[in-house]
Amino acid sequence: MPIGCVIVRDGEIVGEGANEVATQTDPTAHAEIVAIRRACASVGVDLRGATLYSTLQPCGMCSMASIWSHVSRIVYGAERHQVHSMYFEDRHLETMDFIRDAFRDDMSFTGGVLPEDTVALYYKPGDDVPPEEQGNL
Protein backbone atom coordinates (compact mmCIF):
# COMPACT_ATOMS: atom_id res chain seq x y z
CA MET A 1 0.00 0.00 0.00
CA PRO A 2 1.32 3.46 -0.87
CA ILE A 3 1.74 4.79 2.63
CA GLY A 4 4.78 6.76 3.72
CA CYS A 5 5.95 8.17 7.03
CA VAL A 6 8.77 10.32 8.31
CA ILE A 7 9.59 11.25 11.90
CA VAL A 8 11.30 14.59 12.46
CA ARG A 9 12.90 15.95 15.61
CA ASP A 10 14.88 19.17 15.91
CA GLY A 11 14.63 19.68 12.17
CA GLU A 12 16.15 16.32 11.27
CA ILE A 13 14.58 13.15 9.94
CA VAL A 14 15.24 10.49 12.59
CA GLY A 15 13.16 7.74 11.00
CA GLU A 16 11.31 7.03 7.80
CA GLY A 17 9.34 4.15 6.41
CA ALA A 18 6.91 2.86 3.87
CA ASN A 19 4.36 0.09 4.23
CA GLU A 20 6.38 -3.16 4.25
CA VAL A 21 3.62 -5.62 5.15
CA ALA A 22 4.01 -7.62 1.94
CA THR A 23 7.79 -7.40 1.58
CA GLN A 24 8.45 -8.29 5.23
CA THR A 25 5.51 -10.70 5.51
CA ASP A 26 4.69 -8.79 8.68
CA PRO A 27 1.16 -7.44 9.21
CA THR A 28 2.51 -4.94 11.74
CA ALA A 29 4.96 -3.39 9.27
CA HIS A 30 2.84 -0.31 8.60
CA ALA A 31 4.78 2.76 7.43
CA GLU A 32 4.45 4.40 10.84
CA ILE A 33 5.66 1.31 12.70
CA VAL A 34 8.62 0.96 10.33
CA ALA A 35 9.50 4.63 10.85
CA ILE A 36 9.10 4.39 14.64
CA ARG A 37 11.37 1.33 14.76
CA ARG A 38 14.03 3.10 12.73
CA ALA A 39 13.74 6.31 14.75
CA CYS A 40 14.06 4.42 18.03
CA ALA A 41 17.05 2.47 16.71
CA SER A 42 18.60 5.81 15.83
CA VAL A 43 17.80 8.04 18.82
CA GLY A 44 16.30 5.80 21.50
CA VAL A 45 12.80 4.75 22.51
CA ASP A 46 11.59 8.13 23.78
CA LEU A 47 10.54 10.22 20.79
CA ARG A 48 9.27 13.15 22.84
CA GLY A 49 9.66 16.32 20.81
CA ALA A 50 9.32 14.45 17.52
CA THR A 51 6.60 14.87 14.91
CA LEU A 52 5.35 11.86 12.96
CA TYR A 53 4.19 12.72 9.44
CA SER A 54 2.12 10.17 7.55
CA THR A 55 0.42 10.30 4.17
CA LEU A 56 -2.69 8.63 5.64
CA GLN A 57 -4.42 8.94 9.00
CA PRO A 58 -2.73 6.41 11.29
CA CYS A 59 -4.70 3.30 12.19
CA GLY A 60 -5.32 2.26 15.78
CA MET A 61 -2.13 0.20 16.01
CA CYS A 62 0.00 3.06 14.74
CA SER A 63 -1.78 5.60 16.94
CA MET A 64 -1.01 3.44 19.98
CA ALA A 65 2.60 2.92 18.84
CA SER A 66 2.92 6.70 18.58
CA ILE A 67 1.63 7.04 22.14
CA TRP A 68 3.99 4.33 23.45
CA SER A 69 6.98 5.86 21.68
CA HIS A 70 6.09 9.30 23.12
CA VAL A 71 5.81 11.03 19.77
CA SER A 72 4.69 14.58 20.52
CA ARG A 73 2.74 15.36 17.39
CA ILE A 74 1.07 13.45 14.57
CA VAL A 75 0.45 15.13 11.21
CA TYR A 76 -1.25 13.29 8.38
CA GLY A 77 -2.62 13.83 4.92
CA ALA A 78 -5.64 11.87 3.77
CA GLU A 79 -8.30 11.48 6.42
CA ARG A 80 -10.16 8.29 7.11
CA HIS A 81 -13.45 9.48 5.65
CA GLN A 82 -11.72 10.45 2.39
CA VAL A 83 -10.45 6.94 1.56
CA HIS A 84 -11.82 3.41 1.25
CA SER A 85 -12.63 1.64 4.53
CA MET A 86 -10.15 -1.15 3.66
CA TYR A 87 -7.33 0.99 5.07
CA PHE A 88 -8.65 0.70 8.62
CA GLU A 89 -9.12 -2.21 10.96
CA ASP A 90 -12.06 -0.95 12.95
CA ARG A 91 -15.44 0.42 11.94
CA HIS A 92 -15.59 3.34 14.34
CA LEU A 93 -12.46 4.02 16.36
CA GLU A 94 -10.52 7.08 15.26
CA THR A 95 -6.97 8.28 15.89
CA MET A 96 -8.36 10.85 18.30
CA ASP A 97 -10.20 8.16 20.28
CA PHE A 98 -6.85 6.66 21.23
CA ILE A 99 -5.12 9.96 21.88
CA ARG A 100 -8.03 11.36 23.89
CA ASP A 101 -7.92 8.40 26.27
CA ALA A 102 -4.14 8.23 26.55
CA PHE A 103 -2.53 9.16 29.85
CA ARG A 104 -0.47 11.75 28.02
CA ASP A 105 -1.81 15.25 27.67
CA ASP A 106 1.15 16.64 25.73
CA MET A 107 0.34 15.08 22.37
CA SER A 108 -1.38 16.73 19.44
CA PHE A 109 -2.41 15.84 15.95
CA THR A 110 -3.31 17.63 12.75
CA GLY A 111 -5.10 15.85 9.95
CA GLY A 112 -6.06 16.65 6.41
CA VAL A 113 -2.89 18.42 5.27
CA LEU A 114 -2.14 18.40 1.50
CA PRO A 115 -5.50 16.75 0.84
CA GLU A 116 -5.33 16.76 -2.97
CA ASP A 117 -1.90 15.12 -3.05
CA THR A 118 -2.53 12.52 -0.38
CA VAL A 119 -6.12 11.51 -1.17
CA ALA A 120 -5.02 10.82 -4.75
CA LEU A 121 -2.79 7.99 -3.46
CA TYR A 122 -5.68 5.87 -2.22
CA TYR A 123 -8.86 4.10 -3.22
CA LYS A 124 -11.86 6.30 -2.57
CA PRO A 125 -14.91 5.42 -0.49
CA GLY A 126 -17.14 3.21 -2.62
CA ASP A 127 -14.41 2.21 -5.08
CA ASP A 128 -14.61 -1.39 -6.28
CA VAL A 129 -11.39 -2.74 -4.76
CA PRO A 130 -10.23 -6.24 -5.80
CA PRO A 131 -10.56 -8.62 -2.81
CA GLU A 132 -6.86 -9.53 -2.94
CA GLU A 133 -5.97 -5.89 -2.34
CA GLN A 134 -8.28 -5.41 0.63
CA GLY A 135 -6.44 -5.46 3.90
CA ASN A 136 -9.25 -5.76 6.43
CA LEU A 137 -11.43 -8.57 5.08
Residues forming contacts to Zn ion in the complex (CB under 5 A) are 30, 59, 61-62
DSSP 123: P
Q: What is the closest distance, in whole angstroms, from the C-beta atom of residue 37 to Zn ion in the complex?
A: 13
- What's the length of the chain? 137
Nearer to Zn ion, 9 or 95 (CB): 95
DSSP H helices, the chain, are 21-24, 31-43, 60-68, 95-101, 115-119
Give the active site residue among 12, 32, 94, 133.
32
CB of 130 to Zn ion, least distance (A): 21
Nearer to Zn ion, 50 or 66 (CB): 66
Rounded to the nearest whole angstrom, what is the least distance from the CB of residue 75 to Zn ion in the complex? 15
32 is a catalytic site residue: yes
Q: Which is nearer to Zn ion, 8 or 76 (by Cβ)?
A: 76
Beta-sheet strand order (sheet of 12-18):
12-18, 4-9, 51-56, 73-78, 108-110
Contact 26, 42 (CB under 8 A): no
Active site residues: 32
